[in-house]
Amino acid sequence: MNHQPFNEWIYQDAPLTEQDEQELKAHLKTCPVCQDNDKAWQDVNGMLKSAPMMPAAPGFVNRWQASLADRRQKELRRQVWMGFLILSGAFLLTLALIILFIVLNHSPVSLFTQVFESLTGAWLVFLEAKASITHWLQTIPPLLIGAGLLVFASWCTVLVLAWNLVFRISSRKGIPTK
Amino acid sequence: MKIPDSEWLPLALQGNEEAFTRVVEHYQTPVYNLCYRMLGSPQEAEDAAQETFWRAYRNLNRYDSSRSFMTWILSIAAHYCIDQHRRQRINILPLEGYVEDTSPDPAPNPEAYASQSEEAAVLRSLLDGLNPQDRAAIILRYWYDLSEMEIAQTLNLTVSAVKSRLHRARITLGQRWQAAHPSAVPERRHDESPAF
């Protein structure tokens, strides 16, 4: 038996025309397969239409408020890390581009020669500077050198601690955007 | 009740946190219901609803106030739940097992009580047989009374795609119902051809 278009009509959402409805009724009287389908869909349709809205468990809004603070903190922390990663990436990319530029614009031999000359020149400059500094240090009292080194080391320590503190605070609280 | 749309919503859009909390209060049931009907588990629905509000909160500046806020937030929830389905491949309960699956839910949730009812379990089991987008279309049609056009906007589909999804989903639901209730309809005649 041909079940079309009756089977389409059974599941159709829009209302049927009067004529189609009469045809469907007549078909259902003679077709047990479509009868079964119609009965099943009527049951399901009734159940869907009468199903209530499922409410959330009590305290949903309180849980939202609690999770909002937590999510914000995580979001800000993520922003700090993203900023750090973007800056690091930009630095590495720039470095890679500079290296690429140098490699592409110089032959390996000339590059090696230049590097070798630069290193040799730097070594000579270092030796000269060392000799000058040694000569200069001999004229300064040893106590003053020790005091200078102590001040320099103290400043380095303070700077490293301050940087560490700022980074910890930023990663915990984030950087305010507003 | 128009309070959130007319009063709280504009304040929430300006970044007022308290106003957004009122919005959450107002929309919690429709959002939770969509998540629950999509995912079938109270705990997952709670997480999904919370995530939906968080996403809405973060993207309030993208909300087009000419659109209904309800449709917008349901759209966020539906897409999140569809993604969850794709990611987690939620365990689908066998249809035959739904009657036995009436053990009390350990979650402190009033719906645990409701889930014990046979009808709730039958519905959940029927919906489990649909693919996520068909399921979302059926839920939006029957629980929220959205038109095909509104469903299309909510799910980013064309109206014809929504129509065909709804039709296909209805056929699937009917088939699953018949499979679960062989006694409710007379036994299929062996000489009859199926209508599908």
For chain A, give every domain's residue range.
6-50, 73-173
Segment A124-136 shows an average pLDDT of 92
Query: Looking at the predicted structure, is the pLDDT value of residue B39 above 80?
Result: yes
| CA nearest to B154, candidates B68, B75, B49 | B75
Give the separation between CA A117 and CA A12, rounded to whole angstroms.
86
CB contact residues (below 8 A), chain B span 167-186, against chain A: 167, 170-171, 173-175, 177-178, 181, 184-186
Residue A175's pLDDT band (cuts 50, 70, 90) = low
Give the separation between CA A119 and CA A115, rounded to whole angstroms.
6
Cα Rg of chain A (Å, integer) = 41
Query: Looking at the predicted structure, is the pLDDT value of residue B191 above 60?
Result: no
B145: exposed, middle or buried (Cβ count in 10 Å: 0-12, 13-18, 19+): exposed
| CA nearest to A41, candidates A2, A3, A10 | A10
Which of A8 and B190 is assigned the larger pLDDT?
A8
| Predicted pLDDT at A4 | 76
CB A47 within 8 A of CB B174: no
0.90 exceeded by pTM = no
Per-residue DSSP letters for A11-28?
Answer: T-SSPPPHHHHHHHHHHH
| CA nearest to B128, candidates B84, B165, B163, B173 | B173
| Predicted pLDDT at B56 | 95
Q: Per residue in B121-147, pLDDT tens?
A: 888 999 999 999 999 999 999 999 999
Residue of B nearest to A13 (CA): B167
Q: What is the ipTM of this complex?
A: 0.74
CB contact under 8 A, A48 and B142: yes
Secondary-structure percent of chain B, ordered helix, strand, coil, rounded to 5: 70, 0, 30
Residue B159's pLDDT band (cuts 50, 70, 90) = very high
B46 touches A: beta carbon within 8 Å: yes
Identify all chain A residues contacting B4, using CB atoms and an 8 Å cutoff: none
B60 touches A: beta carbon within 8 Å: no
Q: How many residues does chain A have?
A: 178
A128: exposed, middle or buried (Cβ count in 10 Å: 0-12, 13-18, 19+): exposed
Instruction: Give percent of chain B with pLDDT exceeding 70.
Output: 75
For chain B, what is the total number of helices (H) and then of strands (E)? Answer: 10, 0
Identify all chain B residues contacting A37, using CB atoms and an 8 Å cutoff: 174, 178, 195
Which of B184 and B65 is assigned the larger pLDDT?
B65
Which of B81 and A134 is assigned the larger pLDDT?
B81
Tell me B192's DSSP state.
S
Take residue B152 and report the two structure tokens written for it: 């299309």
Question: Lowest-confidence range among A100-114, A140-154, B73-87, B151-165?
Answer: A100-114
**CB-facing half-sphere around the CA of A148: CA atoms within 13 A:** 7
B49 touches A: beta carbon within 8 Å: yes
For chains A and B, CB pairs below 8 A equal 130
**Residue to test with chain A: of B31, B142, B150, B166, most A Cβ within 10 A:** B142
| Predicted pLDDT at A176 | 55
| Predicted pLDDT at A19 | 86
When the pLDDT of each residue in chain B is averaged and rounded to a whole number, the result is 81
Query: How many Å from the N-terminal Cα to the C-terminal Cα in chain B?
Result: 44
CB B140 within 8 A of CB B166: no
Tell me B96's DSSP state.
G
**Residue to test with chain A: of B14, B95, B98, B177, most A Cβ within 10 A:** B177
When the pLDDT of each residue in chain A is averaged and rounded to a whole number, the result is 87
Q: Per residue in A35-94, pLDDT tens?
A: 888 899 999 999 899 899 999 999 999 999 999 888 988 988 999 999 999 999 999 999
| Predicted pLDDT at B103 | 42
| Predicted pLDDT at B96 | 44
Q: Per residue in B85-120, pLDDT tens?
A: 888 765 554 444 444 444 444 445 555 555 446 778
Residue given tokens 């999510």 in the structure block: A71
Residue of A nearest to B190 (CA): A33
| Predicted pLDDT at B171 | 93
Segment B49-61 shows an average pLDDT of 94
Give the separation between CA B134 and CA B163, rounded to whole angstroms.
10
What domains, with CATH codes, occur in chain B? 3-90+103-180 (1.20.140.160)
Backbone φ/ψ region at B112: left (φ over 0), alpha (ψ -120 to 50), beta: alpha
CB contact under 8 A, B108 and A63: no
| Predicted pLDDT at A138 | 84
